[in-house]
Structure 1
């Protein structure tokens, strides 16, 4: 992905799952997102997972970031407005049965602790094969 694509599409909020990156440094984030974006990330475990959330700092204010084993969540509000903040959670779920249960329990704990409008997206991996 290139920051040119983000500019072309006028994206202001970016969620990338399965980055496979254990570290996201500022120079890499700028290369991916561009200069206008702030970011946070959940590192990959070995060569699995990894989540990157980027937001255009002129459009969005991130009030709080919460990281779990399978999730990266942020409370977001439009810049200049303290009204109607909402939560976004980006997920990367694993495929083993015991991990599926842990994943769903993590989502439930987050939801119980963080009420209000919530957008949930990502790679759930709940059904890998029929």
Structure 2
């Protein structure tokens, strides 16, 4: 798995063709093999949109847009990764990644999250993460936008919910 490039990007909207092409340029330039796009604000991706973003060499899964929760997009370059066991939850997508090479298989779990902005949903989000941690064994990468504050200095105003920090 050494040398593999992962791209995790809070896109804040991919309805514009120019934005999709900008993402594709980064994928090509950096030779990214796994792409995780959040907050795409696209409910349904057409084949043309997918090709603009990724080209034909990626498999993908996404959570449809629901209110302000955004969209998750997981891609494994077919020439480097095999994906299986894709599981959709309320705030996350998890899948198993296995390398496709002659040096032996490497398998890990990848979870991409988009945490809710609504404070009333955050407890459910954290419970979902606890359940995921209990479910998957072995190497596990969890990434995305948690929409949580770790420290008071991470906040741009004085409104803090210390219970969720």
Greater Cα shift, 58-67 or 25-34: 25-34
Pick the aligned partner of 1:116 from 104, 119, 138.
138
Structure 1 residue corresponding to 2:42, chosen from 21, 24, 31? 21
Contact 1:71–1:89 (8 Å) recurs in 2: yes
Q: What does 1:33-112 correspond to in 2, within 5 Å?
A: 33-80=54-101, 83-112=105-134
* Bigger-Rg structure (1/2): 2
1:38–1:55 CA contact under 8 A, matched in 2: yes
Compute the displacement of 1:89 (Å). Answer: 0.7
Q: Could you tell me how far 1:4 is from its partner in structure 2?
A: 2.9
Total equivalences in the alignment: 130
Moved more, 62-71 or 77-86: 77-86
Q: Structure 2: how far apart are the matches of 1:74 and 1:106?
A: 15
Q: What runs of 5+ residues in structure 1 fail to find an aligned partner?
A: none
In structure 2, distance between residues paired with 1:84 and 1:9:
22
How far apart, in 2, do the equivalents of 1:112 and 1:72 lie?
15
Gaps of 5+ in 2: 1-19, 150-154, 161-165
Deviation at 1:83, TM superposition (A): 3.1
Q: 1:33 to 1:49 in 2, by over 3 A?
A: same
Q: Could you state the TM-score of these two structures normalised by the residue count of structure 2?
A: 0.71
TM-score (norm 1): 0.89
Q: Which has the higher strand share?
A: 1
Q: Does the Cα contact within 8 Å between 1:90 and 1:121 map onto a contact in 2?
A: yes
Q: Is the Cα contact below 8 Å between 1:29 and 1:39 reproduced in 2?
A: no
